[in-house]
Amino acid sequence: MRLTLPFVIAGVAIAAIPVGAQDPGRRIVLRDVVRAPDADRPIALSDVVERTARPRAYQGRNTGSEQTERFSRKVRVGRDGRVSISNISGDIVVTGGSGDEVSIEAVKRTRGDRSELAGVEIVVEERAGRVDVRAEHERNRSDRGRRGDSLSVDFTVTVPASASLDVHSVSGSLKVTGVHGAVRAETVSGNVTTTDTPNLEHAKSVSGDVSLTGAAADGDLAASSVSGNITAKGLKARGLDLGSVSGDVTLTDVTCERLTIKTVSGNTEYAGAIARSGRYEINTHSGTVRLVLANPSGFELNANSFSGSIRSDLPLTIGGDSTRGDRDGYRGRRREGNDAHNMRATFGDGSATLAIRTFSGDIIISKR
């Protein structure tokens, strides 16, 4: 009997941690539960992260020579169609191309007996303006543990450049290039990489890095990882919502009106422009926060670090009262006493809002 394995993506909610309420002696415990596709018992998210800490196409028990089987198909979807690709084990590479067809190339792989290749079927479903592609694995009690562990499918797909794309995998990396429709990419164990995706909506990995280059969004864009870094270059969006439990967040040449970054353990760097009336919130438990701002017209700063210093290369007016002038001007000095860890200040016209909090780490503001 063939069953379509449900795809489970572990959601990660990283709550903001008010610094004033934190206690160095307290432990922070993150809990979440996902359910295995072929089992009735829940699995702790920590188990998933631990077991998949190093992304691979598949992690087979057998070490024999590799057996492969190829699949190829083309389907017409229309230039503005929608394409979804779901996989259990294996990498997915999607490229935007010309024309109105979806070109699907897939390779089944196993290091077990060649007969195991029959244990997975590549299903292509066509509907008006939509194509769904997925790998269905044969699983029952008699072959559980024998198949699936050493069986994977790698997809190489070309879609119309203006098509919308949903791509998901449990154990495998995702790479999307040149797809200009709405894009959503999620994997449990593997990296997510997007390039030239001007309508990226969502990018997520549980155990792997998330890398975004030349991405944009008319609305809000969300990216997250539990155990991995988040990097973005040349990113433009109205709003950015980024989160990582154990990893750095590095943004270069970024433009947005709203920014929310939440991390537990990792450094954060934002290099880019800030908008007038924009709001930028960064909250991390353990890590340094660095802002490299491109010609800011002004901002109000509310910064707090429990066990780190606050430094600025820009001339700030402490307390946010510009009438106090240079008497309380501040540039690059470490302030004494409690003010070394807390600062309310204004730069320029004070039009944007920066709220930065870290429990253990420095806060550094500089001009590009």
Over 110-124, what HEC string results?
ECCCHHHHHHEEEEE
Q: Which residues of 219-255 are buried (b: 16+ CB within 10 A; e: fewer)?
A: eebbbbbbbbbbbbbbbbbebbbbbbbbbbbbbeebb
Average pLDDT, the chain: 81
**Residue 340 pLDDT grade (very low, low, confident, very high; cuts 50, 70, 90):** low
Lowest-confidence range among 91-95, 273-277, 337-341? 337-341
Q: Dihedral of CA 26/247/221/350: which sign? A: positive
Per-residue pLDDT for 313 more than 50?
yes
Residue type at 330?
Y
- What do you get for the CA distance between the two ends of the chain, in Å? 61
Beta carbons within 8 Å of 178's beta carbon, 6+ residues apart = 95, 96, 97, 161, 195, 196, 197
Residue 301: predicted pLDDT: 96
> Can you give the pLDDT at residue 251?
97
Residues with Cβ within 8 Å of residue 71, at least 6 apart in sequence: 104, 105, 106, 107, 108, 122
Q: Could you tell me which residue, 340 or 274, shows the higher pLDDT?
A: 274
Question: How are beta strands 363-367 and 289-293 bridged, if at all?
Answer: parallel
Tokens 């002004």 -> residue: 298
pLDDT the model gives residue 134 = 96
Query: What is the pLDDT confidence band of residue 139, given thresholds at 50, 70 and 90?
Result: low
pLDDT for residue 63: 59
Helices assigned H by DSSP within the chain: 45-51
pLDDT in tens, 13-53: 344 444 444 444 444 443 443 344 444 444 444 443 344 44
Work out the percent of the chain whose per-residue pLDDT is above 90: 67
**Which of these ranges, 142-146, 180-184, 303-307, has the smallest mean pLDDT?**
142-146
d(CA 311, CA 298) in angstroms, rounded, equals: 17
pLDDT band at 202 (very low <50, low <70, confident <90, very high): very high
